Structure 1
Amino acid sequence: MPVSFSDPICSESFAMLQKIRDRARGWFAYTIVGLLTIPFAIWGIESYFEGGGPMDAALVGDSKISLQDYQRAYQQQRQRLQAMLGNNLDAALLEGPQLKQDVLRQLIDEQVLMQLVGDQGLRISNPQLREALLALPIFQESGGFNKELYERLLRNQGYTAALFEEGLRQSLATEQLRDGVTASALTTQAELEQWIALLKQQRDVYFLKLPLAQSVAKAQVEDAAIQDYFAKNPARFVNPEQVQVQFIELKLSSIADPITIGEDELKAAYEAQLDKYGRPEERSASHILVKLPLGAAPAEVELAQAKAQQIASEIRSGTKTFDQALQEVKAHASGQVEGGELGVISKGMFDSPALENALYALEKSGDVSEPVRMPSGFHVVRLDTLTPSQVKPFEEVRESIAQELRQQQAENRFYEITQTLANLGYEHPDNLEPAAKALAVTIQESGW
């Protein structure tokens, strides 16, 4: 599958420079090449070649990886590294080319796998997607899926639920492809025995160490031999071509650090995002389900409803405990009744509004609902525990709000600066002074 790159400089610029280099000679030609290299190497100068239009980071077959997707993935990887390593993170790692190359390579690998998934006709059904989503640890609190936490985390990362779930669907499909390859590997008995034999094999080895330094110290080399070796091996003593360039470096951190956020702005952001700093109300519940077959006759429905009503009444009156009622009906109606703990639940987790409304109508632990009709039968729900919603005080989250606002303002400012830099680079392709003066930055010079 053909793959082409354009990160961070478009491939046409490299081809152009190479042609000039191949056909030009002398100090004047190298000066021209050096001057052309400067604007080409500035991040955001793609408008010099593309007329300001959109640019792709890579082309995988017929599919494009946009520069926007690449930059989003790059920023997310930076944030992951900062979160994992904290103060131990080497700043050079974030700014070096290796991280950019790794991110682009990962995007290309994902695109190749997605195309293979499409070619193989692999699909993830909605029930499979839902099961995987509910099992993700990052969206769980107190042992269960938290819908508000899910929506809040997606919102903070700039994702919609539909966009994230489509990405998860693609990820599950590619994982299915990987599992299909790795899980189908076969090992013969002969290969297994050979591997075990090699694993347990032991050998005794005797060796004699001859120090090279002693021999070198005793060796005598005549000047004529040195001259002769130099004359016969000139290629070993040729210095590689070198260039020295001037450049301007823009760092998001240097823009964010001096930004100060006023107290009123901090409080306004806090008030606008109270759901982000709050813990939603949580309830844990148990249920008893009196089952109904699909297409049940009216008489069967009435009988099941009456049974569920009897169970609810006995529990409310104290005649039986919830557990006693559950065990008794299960013993007398094997296969027709089931139940147990539902775990920790927050609003939006149930597919059925009726079941959710019944649970949230209960006011205190131990309360039992009226029977709730569902396609599977009649549910009787008991509220086990209730944890009220809690909101963190402003002072507790003040610094995190300030850091978030600084980051947002710095990113906006960084975008404006890169646009200014791109325009100035286009207007002054042979001189960095105007850009450095306009942006109040220092022109730096590389080594050889």
Structure 2
Amino acid sequence: MVWRPFLGYLTQSSVRMSDQCGRLNSTWTVGILVLFAALTFFIQISSDPVNCWTPSQFTHPMTVYTNKVCGESGSYYVGIDKDIPIYRREDEQTFKWRWLPLILLVQALLFKVPDLVLSVGQGLVGLRFTKIIGLTDGYESLNMVGRAQMGRQVGRYVKSWIDSTVLKGCPWGWLTLLFLFTKLLYFINIITQLSVMDGLLTYENQSSFGRQMLDEIVSNETVEWRLLNGPFTRIVFCDFQIRLLETIQRWTVQCTLNNITYYEMVLCFLWLWFVVVSVVTTMSGMLQLLTVLVPVFRKRYIKSYLYLSKEVTPSPSDNDISRFAGSEITEEGVFILKAIGEASSEHLVRDAVIYLWQSTHDQQTPGQLGPPEQGGPPSYLPPGYCVTGQTYVQGGAVISTPPSVASQQVRYRPQPGTETAPLMANQPM
């Protein structure tokens, strides 16, 4: 079906670096709006929108015609105790509910705008998260040696990104600012839509749509103004003309709108959902801003991975971790690492953090492909395994693996062009 790609775009987040708040706005809310748009459209085509009271001289075909005309043309509301105006009836026009499915689809598109901005912004700042996903693809299927090597690849990528985009001494970069701007767009969108909906659906004698719904739920009595006034008016008037030869007859009939109850329930649910989304979006935006501004969150995130590893010896001090998280990793690196951990594995993030720490705090020897590993090969490698071309410091002695693997058995070989050394199997320590 031709509409399936469009529906898939509306209901799925194209940017995997968005958080739970982003998915709540751009995936769940969009899916709900599309679902209700389809539901209201089905209701409209499967039932008559109005039933009109017609004079006794009307035949059955004339009654059917009256219902069709009043359903397609506009209707208006006039108080039962007031005279029907002659020239300014259009001022009393009620909402044309046949446009409701289209309005819901437009709302869904507005919820996708921040997601689109985030997707385009990635390319503008020089980062495509899909490339990172491709870099970490297949991590769970690799053996321990392959996972260790992939962790080093991710660490190199993150370090090169930080060195090329983040100014020294500044913990923020364009990626962080882009994500904060996206949060602001989510907030503006949900608050604007909620305010417009509340203003359009609230009766004149009510302060808000929520208070109005609560009064209707608590009260078991039929409220007259609920039937005869406001946006959910059930009883309306309709004008139409019939030409008989040279004579034009003008008729005014009283009609009831059949589907208003369903529309009201749909909009009530959407209003409540928007309230929840607005609260979550506001809290998420404030938390994200606090996380960016307060360095202790970066320090705590990096510290949790360093303390889980036995390769970092001796244990780093809090001052070293604070300096490392603030000036070396920065908020940009933490953001990328969090996205990688959510898309792949926390173990991969741990390997990348260890590589970044060692590449920053240890001195490399000539011809070495990476920083020396303190305490021998990583503990998560099987006994007898090591990384080709890597220097290890163990018991005060420096142990170097040969950079050439021509005569060695290769367990894992990366793709050409990745600039990653292959790994040897059964290399003695």
Report the TM-score, using the length of structure 2 for normalisation. Answer: 0.25
Larger-gyration structure (1/2): 1
Indicate the structure whose relative CO is greater, using CA pairs within 8 Å and at least 6 residues apart: 1
TM-score w.r.t. length of structure 1: 0.24
